C-alpha cells in the first residue's frame, strides 16, 4: 500500500525514471536536491520488472529522509521483450507495460503530486498526467547540444529523404555546431527500423512538457543553450521553458568490500599516475577489443584500473539492463597470464566499480571513457582528462563535443581493423586524435 502524500505538509512531487542507470542516477540526484536543498517531499517511482540490476538496487538503498522509493507494481515483460532487442525498443516496451497498468492508480493514491518529473523515455506519462491535471516536466539526461538536435529531429525527418548517415555534409542544427553523419547516435542511422520510430515518437512529445530540466550548467554549453533560448526555430516549436540545473552527479557511493579493496590499491599509487578504464553502466567491448585493450595496457606499463565485462560481439550495450548482475570471471576472456603479469601495476574490476570515488581520487590521472553524459560530467567536475571511446547511443556526439568544443578530452585511436558498428553497416577502424 502506497503511503499517502497527505501525511506530509511539505510540497510533494514525484519523479519517474525509465530503467537503466544512465537515467536513474541523474533523476535520483535531482530528487535528492529537491529534498535536501528545497524541503520538497519526493516520491521516486521505480519501474519494477524481473530485469532490475544489482547496481540499481544498491543505488536505492540509502536515501535522505523525505525521499521515498515507490515501486510501481511489477509487470511481466517476457511476452514483449527479448534479450536481443535494441535498447530503446526494449525500454519502450518495459515502460509502456508498466505505466499503462499502474501509473494512474499510483498517482491517485499519492493524492495527485504537484508535479511529475520524467525522463525522455517515459513520455507515455504525459497523457496520464493530463487526465489528472498534474503538470509534467521532462528531465533531459544528455548534453544541451544533443537536446537541440533532438528538438530539430522531427523537422529533419520531414525535410530529408533517405538516410541521414549518407548525407554528404554535416547536419546543420539551428544556431548550434553541426553534427557529422558519422557522429549521429545509433538510433537515427537507420530510419527503417522500429527503434528510430520510437525514438522520434518520444522526442516529438518534448513540447508537451511544462518545462525541461537540463543537466549541464549555464557556462558549459553556451552556444546551444543560447540557440534554444533565442533562435527563431526553437521559439516557434514552441520549446517549453528550459532550466539548466547541472551538474547533477553522484556525490557519494555505498561501498562494498571489493570497492574498498580497489580504493585501497588506488591510495598506494602516486598522484595522477593511474588511468581509469570503464565502459559505463551498460557498455561492453567485443572479444577482439578486450584482447587488444589488455595487450595495450600491459605493454604501456601504465598503472590502471580497468572495469571489465564479459565481451559481446553482438551489442555494445549488452549489460544495459543487468549491470552489476552479470556473471563475470575475467580469467575466462582476458589473455592467459594477463592478471599475473600486471599484478601490482593494475587492477581489474569485474562488472562495476565506484566510479565517483575513483575519479575524485588524487591518484587518478586520466579516464578512458565511453562518453556517456553522466560519466562525462563526473570527469569534468573532478578535473580528470578523458580519452573518448564512444560505444553506443549518443556517445559519438558527446565525444565530438567534448574533444572539439569543450576540449575536455581526446578521441581514442581504433586500430583493430574493420568492425561492425552494430547498426547493420560495416565501418573501417577510425584513427582520430593521438590518444594521449
Residue 5 pLDDT level (bands cut at 50, 70, 90):
very low
Q: Where are the beta strands (DSSP E) in 131-181?
A: 136-140
Q: What is d(CA 434, CA 385) in angstroms, rounded to the nearest whole number?
A: 14
Determine the pLDDT at residue 411. Answer: 57
Chain-centre distance for alpha carbon 160 = 28
Nearest CA to 396 out of 415, 377, 412, 378 is that of 412
Residue 298 pLDDT level (bands cut at 50, 70, 90):
very high
User: How open is the CA angle 100-104-107, to the nearest 5 degrees?
Assistant: 140
Which is it for the CA torsion 265, 266, 267, 268, positive or negative?
A: positive
Return the axis-axis angle of helices 373-381 and 21-38, rounded to nearest 10°: 50
pLDDT at residue 278 above 60?
A: yes
Determine the pLDDT at residue 54. Answer: 67
Return the axis-axis angle of helices 194-204 and 87-109, rounded to nearest 10°: 40
Choice between 231 and 425, residue whose per-residue pLDDT is larger: 231
Determine the pLDDT at residue 417. Answer: 33
Q: Where are the beta strands (DSSP E) in 354-431?
A: 364-369, 386-388, 409-411, 419-420, 426-427
Determine the pLDDT at residue 1. Answer: 42
As a whole number, mean pLDDT of residues 259-270 equals: 96
Residue 421 pLDDT level (bands cut at 50, 70, 90):
very low
- 206 contacts 151 by C-beta, under 8 angstroms: yes
Q: What is the pLDDT of residues 139-162, one digit of tens each?
A: 999 999 999 999 999 999 999 999
Residue 117 pLDDT level (bands cut at 50, 70, 90):
very high
Q: Which helix (H) or strand (E) holds 291?
A: helix 287-300
pLDDT at residue 58 above 90?
A: no
pLDDT at residue 413 above 90?
A: no
Determine the pLDDT at residue 8. Answer: 52
Q: What are phi and psi of 425, to 5 degrees?
A: -110, 165
As a whole number, mean pLDDT of residues 109-127 equals: 96
Which is it for the CA torsion 115, 80, 421, 331, positive or negative?
A: positive
Count the alpha carbons within 13 Å of 14 in the hemisphere toward its beta carbon: 29
Residue 244 corresponds to which cell in the numbers above?
Answer: 539548466
Choice between 192 and 417, residue whose per-residue pLDDT is larger: 192
Residues making up the chain, counted from first to last: 436
Q: What is the pLDDT of residues 228-238, one digit of tens each?
A: 999 999 999 99
Q: 35 vs 137, 371, 396, CA distance in Å?
A: 17, 29, 34
pLDDT at residue 434 above 60?
A: no
Give catalytic residue positions: 23, 119
Q: What is the pLDDT of residues 346-363, one digit of tens each?
A: 999 998 899 999 999 999
Q: In sequence order, what are the residues at sequence separation of 6 or more whose Cβ sits closer than 8 angstroms to the Cβ of residue 219?
A: none
Determine the pLDDT at residue 254. Answer: 83
Residue 209 corresponds to which cell in the numbers above?
Answer: 512538457
Q: What is d(CA 320, CA 189) in angstroms, rounded to the nearest whole number?
A: 20
Count the alpha carbons within 13 Å of 129 in the hemisphere toward its beta carbon: 24
As a whole number, mean pLDDT of residues 177-194 equals: 94
Q: Is 231 exposed, middle or buried (0-12, 13-18, 19+ CB in 10 A)?
A: middle
Q: 109 vs 6, 40, 101, 106, CA distance in Å?
A: 10, 18, 14, 5
Taking the chain, what is the end-to-end CA distance rounded to the nearest angstrom?
55
Question: Which residues, listed in sequence order, are joined to residue 68 by a DSSP beta bridge?
Answer: 43
Count the alpha carbons within 13 Å of 182 in the hemisphere toward its beta carbon: 9
Q: What is d(CA 413, CA 430) in angstroms, rounded to the nearest whole number?
A: 7
Residue 321 pLDDT level (bands cut at 50, 70, 90):
confident
As a whole number, mean pLDDT of residues 313-334 equals: 82
As a whole number, mean pLDDT of residues 385-411 equals: 84
Domains of the chain plus CATH, in order, are 5-140 (3.40.50.2000), 144-244 (3.40.50.2000), 257-425 (3.40.50.2000)
- Give the lowest-confidence range in 15-19, 147-151, 170-174, 416-420: 416-420
* pTM across the whole model: 0.88
As a whole number, mean pLDDT of residues 33-39 equals: 95
Give the chain's mean pLDDT: 88
Q: Is 262 exposed, middle or buried (0-12, 13-18, 19+ CB in 10 A)?
A: buried
Determine the pLDDT at residue 358. Answer: 97
pLDDT at residue 70 above 70?
A: yes
- 409 contacts 281 by C-beta, under 8 angstroms: no
Q: What is d(CA 104, CA 112) in angstroms, rounded to the nearest whole number?
A: 9
Determine the pLDDT at residue 407. Answer: 55
Choice between 62 and 181, residue whose per-residue pLDDT is larger: 181
Determine the pLDDT at residue 239. Answer: 95
Amino acid at each position: 500500500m502506497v503511503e499517502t502524500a497527505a501525511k506530509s505538509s511539505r510540497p510533494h512531487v514525484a519523479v519517474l525514471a525509465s530503467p537503466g542507470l544512465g537515467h536513474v542516477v541523474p533523476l535520483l540526484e535531482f530528487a535528492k536536491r529537491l529534498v535536501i536543498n528545497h524541503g520538497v517531499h519526493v516520491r521516486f517511482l521505480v519501474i519494477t520488472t524481473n530485469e532490475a540490476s544489482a547496481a540499481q538496487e544498491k543505488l536505492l538503498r540509502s536515501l535522505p529522509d523525505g525521499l521515498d522509493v515507490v515501486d510501481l507494481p511489477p509487470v511481466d515483460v517476457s511476452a514483449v521483450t527479448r534479450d536481443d532487442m535494441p535498447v530503446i525498443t526494449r525500454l519502450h516496451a518495459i515502460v509502456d507495460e508498466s505505466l499503462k497498468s499502474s501509473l494512474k492508480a499510483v498517482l491517485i493514491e499519492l493524492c495527485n503530486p504537484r508535479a511529475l518529473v520524467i525522463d525522455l523515455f517515459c513520455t507515455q506519462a504525459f497523457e496520464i498526467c493530463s487526465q489528472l491535471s498534474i503538470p509534467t516536466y521532462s528531465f533531459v539526461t544528455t548534453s544541451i547540444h544533443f537536446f537541440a538536435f533532438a528538438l530539430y529531429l522531427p523537422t529533419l525527418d520531414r525535410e530529408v529523404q533517405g538516410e541521414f548517415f549518407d548525407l554528404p555534409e554535416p547536419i546543420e542544427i539551428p544556431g548550434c555546431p553541426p553534427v557529422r553523419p558519422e557522429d549521429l547516435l545509433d538510433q537515427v542511422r537507420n530510419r527503417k527500423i522500429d527503434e528510430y520510430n520510437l525514438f522520434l515518437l518520444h522526442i516529438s512529445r518534448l513540447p508537451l512538457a511544462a518545462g525541461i530540466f537540463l543537466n549541464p550548467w549555464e557556462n558549459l554549453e553556451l552556444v546551444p543553450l543560447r540557440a534554444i533560448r533565442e533562435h527563431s526555430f526553437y521559439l516557434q516549436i514552441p520549446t517549453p521553458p528550459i532550466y539548466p540545473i547541472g551538474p547533477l552527479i553522484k556525490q557519494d557511493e555505498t561501498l562494498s568490500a571489493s570497492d574498498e579493496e580497489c580504493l585501497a590499491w588506488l591510495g598506494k599509487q602516486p598522484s595522477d599516475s593511474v588511468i581509469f578504464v570503464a565502459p559505463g553502466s551498460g557498455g561492453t567491448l567485443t572479444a577482439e577489443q578486450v584482447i587488444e585493450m589488455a595487450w595495450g595496457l600491459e605493454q604501456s606499463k601504465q598503472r590502471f584500473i580497468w572495469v571489465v565485462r564479459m565481451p559481446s560481439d553482438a551489442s555494445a550495450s549488452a549489460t544495459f539492463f543487468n549491470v552489476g548482475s552479470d556473471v563475470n570471471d575475467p580469467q575466462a576472456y582476458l589473455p592467459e597470464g594477463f592478471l599475473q603479469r600486471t599484478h601490482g601495476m593494475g587492477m581489474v574490476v569485474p562488472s562495476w566499480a565506484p566510479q565517483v570515488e575513483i575519479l575524485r581520487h588524487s591518484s587518478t590521472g586520466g579516464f578512458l571513457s565511453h562518453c556517456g553524459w553522466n560519466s562525462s560530467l563526473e570527469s569534468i567536475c573532478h578535473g580528470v582528462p578523458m580519452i573518448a571511446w564512444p560505444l553506443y547511443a549518443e556517445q559519438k556526439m558527446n565525444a565530438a563535443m567534448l574533444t572539439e568544443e569543450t576540449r575536455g578530452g581526446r578521441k581514442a585511436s581504433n586500430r583493430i581493423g574493420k568492425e561492425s558498428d552494430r547498426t547493420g553497416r560495416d565501418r573501417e577502424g577510425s584513427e582520430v586524435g593521438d590518444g594521449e
